[in-house]
Structure 1
């Protein structure tokens, strides 16, 4: 059984437990931005200008330029048409879902779709494999009870490190309007060209509207969420009561984001180097399930958690999504790790080399 620990400092490449240093291979701070001194300095600069929070509706009669500026930068980063920020990834997903729901759209859910893009709390998700589900999609869309259909899914399976191909988009029926709603919370900043996310990997169809939502609290190191879509769709969402009544992301973070593009590029390159180092160390091991160039390494061997803990290495392992579920055990590589950290992990798993 997994033990739970409490600390009073932000995890980095290491943490302290009972007065001892442990290597930390867990969490979702893939690019290490929350711990990056230069990013923290930019955030302090932003707080000196904007304070800790903007206590107003984004649709109020006094607005801050930083939101429009940062959303244009986020759209450019994601290679998307436009972007709209909210105070969390969950809220970003639900803002889209509520807007679509109000228009009577019918929803088709992918396996393991995140609750952020559920239409209601009792949503039942498919239990088939992703490939089997996509094989059924053309028929499911054609048989939908409503003329406007939403296909809601994750960009990948981050829990078990399984890649999702989007080639099936080209097989969707031509004569039906489809909205493809993709949660890219675990992909934005990490997958796609230069970490731009899933948007660049999805085929475009004239009858398929693409909306991508994401948490910014993972790779991007900011407490907020974002919606990427065409400008008309984002204008409509912005004019809803759901968006108008919610608090915005603190502007200081958007100030920091706009001035941290070089930091993000360097962190992405370092993350890729660290992943490649660990990939080379484990080789073709059947111990891990892993998307190439992705920082999550999933294992069915839950006992690995206790073994590594005894060697002062803490990895991700706890029951998810509810306490009644099987533990999800995985190693997470970040841009913070040093080469010697990767080697020490490899030594514990496979013995010393050379």
Structure 2
């Protein structure tokens, strides 16, 4: 299970492993944008205009308009008030965490919160289930030592393909200033209405400020990260030394994103079609745990990895987030898969392969 393989090309629906084609049901390129011909052509246009990188502070005295345009489009896509881009999802999370820490906010973490929103090295995540944690949350908030609280969590559990309800937000105390910090790296682009992510699905409260962070390098296929919140919050984060010292997302990619809205829409619809085809094949089987219409199918049957690999089907299976963790075995559907790929996978899973 701890064997690692090396290839020298970008995975898509297949990979070349030791000279043989394997179906590839792994990775996080859910929409397959990095393989989309239209997107690649637009990226070449963007590089012709902006070069490969813009190695300047976003707070410098020379600005590129593409950043404002892309952030406006990202905010509209996510149904958020405003957006701010950085060079990675990890950096987006840490920019927010550092800003909140500087104001003396007390952090309350959910189980399995992503490292992007940790306060290293002091963060200790609670054990137990997410539902148990939400039941304890009003009491935890009320017992906090400061009136300013940050509740930090993931939008969903991508490791085990479990959806989170946010109904508990309505039960939070109404007399404390609460910031809800949500990492949506594995939801943006593939979950929520038209792939818009979690932001619009979280209940609104007058005393609860919502900040959503995400990697753009997964479903969105962009080397960068994003913060969604209200304009005043993002303006304050932008004024920090942490943000000012960061190199930005390469502008050519943001140009391609702005021009490729049709590709994103088509890829999302194709992904849904592929997921539903596999859901139909899985049926009521208890082999997998998964969120409806979500591309990740978790199994506790780790031996499935070796069996499928022997039949030239490569799936996700390795210890995460640290090498000492139990292997996590998942099948990941993407928008590039063809119906015959999914049928072949189903045949091997349910003993019908010829």
Equivalent residue number for residue 352 of structure 2: 352
Aligned: 1:29 with 2:29: yes
The superposition leaves residues 197-235 of structure 1 with CA deviations (integer Å, 9 ceiling, x where unpaired) of: 000110000010000000000000000000000000000
1:54 Cα deviation after fit: 0.6
Aligned-partner Cα distance in 1 for 2:297–2:193 = 21
The superposition leaves residues 45-70 of structure 1 with CA deviations (integer Å, 9 ceiling, x where unpaired) of: 00000000011100000010000011
In the TM superposition, what are the counterparts of 1:23-62 in structure 2 within 5 Å? 23-62=23-62
Name stretches of at least 5 consecutive residues in structure 2 with no aligned partner.
Answer: none
Equivalent residue number for residue 98 of structure 2: 98
Aligned-partner Cα distance in 2 for 1:352–1:269 = 28
Equivalent residue number for residue 129 of structure 1: 129
Aligned-partner Cα distance in 2 for 1:202–1:72 = 21
1:190 Cα deviation after fit: 0.6
1:2 Cα deviation after fit: 3.5
Corresponding residue SS for 2:111: coil
1:332 Cα deviation after fit: 0.2
Aligned-partner Cα distance in 2 for 1:154–1:165 = 11
TM-score (norm 2): 0.99
1:339 Cα deviation after fit: 0.3
In the TM superposition, what are the counterparts of 1:36-185 in structure 2 within 5 Å? 36-185=36-185
In the TM superposition, what are the counterparts of 1:203-214 in structure 2 within 5 Å? 203-214=203-214
1:120 Cα deviation after fit: 2.0
Equivalent residue number for residue 199 of structure 2: 199
1:142 Cα deviation after fit: 0.6
The superposition leaves residues 23-49 of structure 1 with CA deviations (integer Å, 9 ceiling, x where unpaired) of: 000000000001111111110000000
Corresponding residue SS for 1:226: strand
Aligned-partner Cα distance in 1 for 2:109–2:228 = 19
Measured on the aligned residues, the alpha-carbon RMSD in Å equals 0.8
The superposition leaves residues 82-108 of structure 1 with CA deviations (integer Å, 9 ceiling, x where unpaired) of: 000000000000000000000000000
Give the paired residue count.
Answer: 353
Aligned-partner Cα distance in 2 for 1:171–1:55 = 45
Aligned-partner Cα distance in 1 for 2:248–2:2 = 36
1:320 Cα deviation after fit: 1.1
TM-score (norm 1): 0.99
